[in-house]
Amino acid sequence: MRVCLLNDSFPPVIDGVVNVVMNYANYLQQNHGTEVIVGTPAYPDADYSAYSYPVVPYPSLDTAAVASGYRTGNPFSGKAFGKLTDFQPDILHAHCPASSTIIARLLREKTGAPVVFTYHTRYEIDIRRVVKARPVAEEGIRAMIGNISACDEVWVVSRGAGESLTSLGYEGSWRVMNNGVDFARGRVPEPEVARVTGGYDLPEGVPVYLFVGRLMTYKGLPLILDALKTVHEAGQDFRMVFVGKGPDRDLLMGQAEKNGIAGKCIFTGPVYDRDALRAWNTRADLFLFPSTFDTNGLVVREAAACGLASVLVRDSCASEGITDGRNGFLIEETAESLAALLQKTGQNLDLLHRVGMRAMEEIYLSWSDCVDAAYARYLDILEKKALGAYAGKKRDPADLLVSATAWTMGGQEKIRRLGHEVFGDFRETAVGMMENIQEFGENAEQLGRKTAGQIKSGFEERKRELKEGAEQLKEDFRAYGRGLEAEEQFHLNVVEEALKELGGNRKE
């Protein structure tokens, strides 16, 4: 099986979805012998040579200032498109509803491979945050839903994520496919924990609370700081560790200062070393994750892998599978509710540790098991494709435009490659001629006139071959051009029909 994984971010950017894509790639290769390729927007100075699978970067725009460090990919790169097409994937799996899914749809037109899409996070919140004009933001969300709806199968990482997607206007079906964690089950040895965390003010016996992730206010972080203010004013000691980076870091540090708890809050910055993150999860006594934004919360399962229990908002996506007081803690989405829990449990660290060990036993999911399930589903999808299940999928005008665009990109890439082959042939012939000339110059005196004449005759023969080859290549270009014109006309007709239908829809 050949699987093409597509995502709008990849190292050097590290986030939850990047972690998903890398684990899919690794375990598909390791457990199933699957051939994998990854397509992603290009990041400056990124080096993909060490990966065990090819990574194809395509042109991107620098939108880091408004998109939390992320670049925006341009999916209409003929060169990258050609490399991904040549891979001839059996499955196209997109993990972001923007350029990744556009490329997946384009590749489907050229390869016939079905498109799987996984809905990982509530992208509409980021769209509304970045795009201040509400009508434009809502149009962007509709475009996102249209992109998702065009896929052949949609996966979600939790039932709550599926319900969120439906609430945005998605009318198709979805399937829950869990994500796992790449942390081994078990706590990190104390000497390693001390090495990683030893430089920080973490007194023994004082509760250590932990958050790992992007520092964004919509993840419930202001709620944490307000709850900790109440705990502090009640005379209870603690340390709060924030691991990560994000555009709201300074705002959160300012809130900690305003709340009088800056001395008890530690902002470590991002930690990319997975073993170091395991050490932080082992050192902490409770993981605070009052987010209603996240659709799954991999960090909660990473904490569980280390025997660390989490505090979650009741009925949030991240709280699925959590039983209050058994393998985690559930609160209302208020600072008062969180403060009450922390005051109740802050003097009973043994209770927190017992709940954490049950979390390790009951909610931990390994990536190996999760990717095994995904691979089995890929096989089902390919079987459905062989039976024609996707052949009758309704195509809207946007699909017709995607089809025409895919053809255009493919045609441009063919022209580029044909030109490369032509110049390669010319170069090979010219190099041969230069070698003959060099040989003649070096050996003319020893070879004598008769042999020199033979070399000259061979040289003339090579010139005739070059001329004949050039004429044939010129004719090849002409023939290919005539084929392009005929196919171009066909696709122009498709585009005109699509535009007419779109125009009709607008009038309706």
Cis amide leading into 12 (omega within 30):
yes
22 and 118 in a common domain: yes
Separation between Cα atoms, residue 143 and residue 262, nearest integer Å: 42
**1 closest CA partner among 33, 49, 48, 31:** 33
In this structure, the answer to whether residues 360 and 430 fall within a common structural domain is: no
211 and 347 share one domain: yes
Same domain, 216 and 158: no
**Within this chain, do residues 285 and 309 fall inside the same structural domain, yes or no?**
yes
Task: Choose the final residue of a domain: 127, 149, 176.
Answer: 176
- Give the chain's domain count: 3
Residue that is last in its domain, among 150, 176, 202? 176
Burial (CB < 10 A; 0-12, 13-18, 19+), residue 165, is: buried
Query: Is 299 domain-assigned?
Result: yes
CATH number at residue 315: 3.40.50.2000
Sign of the four-CA dihedral 135, 137, 140, 145: negative
Distance CA 474, CA 471 (A): 5
Pair 135, 197 in one domain: no
Find the domain containing 136 and state its range: 2-176
**Other Cβ atoms within 10 Å of 299 Cβ, number:** 24
Domain identity same for 196 and 163: no
From first to last of its 508 residues, the chain has per-residue pLDDT tens of: 999 999 998 888 877 789 899 999 999 999 999 999 999 998 888 899 999 999 999 888 776 555 555 777 777 767 888 899 999 999 999 999 888 998 999 899 889 999 999 998 776 666 666 666 667 667 778 888 888 999 999 999 988 889 888 988 999 999 999 999 889 999 999 999 999 999 999 999 999 999 999 899 989 999 999 999 999 999 999 999 999 999 999 999 999 999 999 999 999 999 989 999 999 999 999 999 999 887 777 899 999 999 999 999 998 988 988 999 999 999 999 999 999 999 999 989 999 999 999 999 999 989 999 999 999 999 999 999 999 988 766 555 455 445 444 444 444 445 444 444 444 444 454 445 455 555 545 555 554 554 555 555 655 665 565 566 556 656 655 655 555 555 455 455 555 555 555 554 443 3
**Domain check: are 296 and 341 in the same one?**
yes
Domain assignment present for 377: no
Q: Kindly state whether residue 196 falls inside one of the protein's structural domains.
A: yes
The DSSP annotation for 285-316 comes to: SEEEE--SSBSS-HHHHHHHHTT--EEEETTS
- Other Cβ atoms closer than 10 A to 51: 15
290 lies in the same domain as 238: yes
Q: Does some domain include residue 171?
A: yes
Give domain status of residue 380, yes or no.
no
Q: Is residue 39, in this structure, part of any structural domain at all? A: yes
Which residue is associated with the tokens 């509409």? 124
**Do 348 and 324 share a structural domain?**
yes
Does some domain include residue 417? yes
Same domain for 65 and 28: yes
Please say which residue of 176, 207, 240 terminates a domain.
176
Residues 223, 348, single domain; the answer is yes
